[in-house]
Amino acid sequence: MNPEHQKQSHGIFGIHPWPLGIILGFLLVFAVNFYVIWISIRSPHQLVVENYYQQGIRYEQELEKNRDSLELGWKVDLIPVSGKEETWIQIRALDASGKPLEGLNGTLNLYRPSNRLEDTKLRLSEKSPGFYEIRTPKLASGLWQFRLELEDGVQGVFLNHYRRHLP
């Protein structure tokens, strides 16, 4: 026999390459799956809402209100303050020229991305010209989304969304 025929190539470490390729392929698939699961767990949760289809239909109306709000030129700041037993949300509203806006009617929707049972809708009360306040029992710490809608009855409707982290 020829000694060259007796030598057979078995690949790396004397193992045939086909089984090694199959094993490495499965390990790659598992690694990618675990990576995708890890990324999905780390990503923030979106708001949980009922009737998502109807919410989608109302989206165009929401966009129109946002465009109208920009045209008003109002400057509105939302400042949540957490106390020991309650949370109050202060809102400062100025018109385009910087004058306080008085006599506004409005609502503030509070959305908790991680728990829709904590979502609520509150009415504003005016404390002084241009300053409004809402008091509520202490809100849970973490991320909150606010939807503020103000109306003066003359110029139109102001709508804005805010994201704030409460301690």
More confident position, 20 or 109 = 109
Q: How confident is the model at residue 4 (pLDDT cuts 50, 70, 90)?
A: low
Domain ranges of the chain: 12-42, 52-166
CA-nearest of 93, 81, 80, 58 to 163 is 80
Fold of 52-166: Immunoglobulin-like (2.60.40)
Taking 3-state DSSP, the helix, strand and coil percentages for the chain, each rounded to the nearest 5, stand at 35, 35, 30
Does the pTM surpass 0.75? The reply is no
pLDDT at 13: 66
Kindly report, residue by residue over 5-64, the tens digit of the pLDDT: 555 556 666 777 788 889 999 999 999 999 999 888 776 655 566 777 787 778 777 777
